[in-house]
């Protein structure tokens, strides 16, 4: 294992390796990226997206930009962070591209390279979410909400908490929120074991992608 890791090029060469060939970089590193070249630019995906108007570059456009080698414009875009995972594009695509997964893959790749838009709320929420589940094995909903409300600082957090208080109280009254859950959240019994698994899984994935070896991939 160690041997193969030492053979990996340092991360700065990732761009070198794929110089002028962003499509290949996507094919090698992005979930389901090998499908990008199959897009016929019909635009059904873009027209089917519930948040379509919020995408600076809808999926169809992203596919063309990838083929045109617009690496920075694609990876720094907040477009794919608008994906709600509704899977409408997948079931309607005439070429059966797994578009939802490609959008997730692009977002993940840009995030792991550390060049996704730092302030994008979905990116930040997704990070809080993953840390939440990776810690105890199950979602701590209250902690998740509070961390989300306070992600833009204390003052904003108080404002958000006030804004959400009515809703929170209604959830509490109907037995759908436990205020003590903040301190006494019941995760899984083998949380440590799961953490070990997730760490190992990430190491393997990073190694396969030639990531995780230097500061270049340490996001934020």
C-alpha span between 75 and 33 (Å, rounded): 13
2-21 residues near other proteins, rule: CB under 8 A: none
C-alpha span between 37 and 42 (Å, rounded): 13
Nearest residue (CB) to other proteins, 31 versus 61 = 31
Burial class (CB in 10 A: 0-12, 13-18, 19+), 111: buried
159-178 residues near other proteins, rule: CB under 8 A: 166-167, 170-171, 173-178
Q: How far is the CB of 23 from other proteins (least distance, A)?
A: 19
User: Which of these ranges, 13-21, 39-47, 65-73, 99-107, lies near other proteins under the rule CB under 8 A?
Assistant: 99-107
Burial class (CB in 10 A: 0-12, 13-18, 19+), 1: exposed
Q: How far is the CB of 51 from other proteins (least distance, A)?
A: 5
57 and 65 Cβ atoms separated by less than 8 Å: yes
C-alpha span between 72 and 62 (Å, rounded): 12
Query: Tokens for 218?
Result: 């340490």
**Which residues of the chain form contacts with other proteins (CB under 8 A)?**
31, 50-51, 54, 82, 84-88, 90-92, 100, 104-105, 107-108, 111-112, 121-127, 129-131, 133-134, 137-139, 141, 145, 148, 166-167, 170-171, 173-178, 181, 186, 188-190, 193-194, 196-198, 200-202, 204-205
């Amino acid at each position: 294992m160690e041997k193969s890791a030492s053979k990996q090029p340092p991360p700065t060469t990732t761009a070198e390796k794929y110089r002028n060939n962003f499509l290949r970089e996507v094919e090698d590193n992005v979930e389901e990226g090998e499908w990008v070249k199959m897009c016929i630019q019909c635009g059904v995906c873009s027209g089917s997206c519930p948040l379509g108007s919020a995408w600076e570059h809808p999926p169809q456009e992203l596919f063309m930009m990838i083929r045109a080698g617009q690496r920075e414009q694609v990876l720094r875009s907040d477009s794919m962070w608008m994906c709600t995972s509704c899977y409408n594009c997948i079931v309607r695509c005439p070429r059966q591209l797994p578009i939802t997964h490609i959008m997730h893959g692009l977002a993940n790749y840009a995030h792991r390279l550390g060049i996704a838009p730092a302030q994008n709320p979905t990116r930040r929420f997704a990070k809080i979410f993953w840390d939440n589940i990776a810690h105890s094995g199950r979602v701590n909903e209250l902690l998740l909400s509070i961390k989300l409300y306070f992600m833009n600082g204390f003052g904003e957090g108080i404002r958000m908490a006030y804004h959400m208080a009515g809703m929170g109280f209604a959830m509490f009254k109907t037995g759908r929120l436990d205020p003590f859950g903040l301190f006494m959240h019941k995760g899984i019994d083998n949380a440590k074991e799961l953490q070990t698994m997730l760490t190992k899984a990430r190491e393997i994935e990073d190694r396969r992608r030639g990531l995780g070896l230097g500061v270049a991939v340490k996001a934020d």
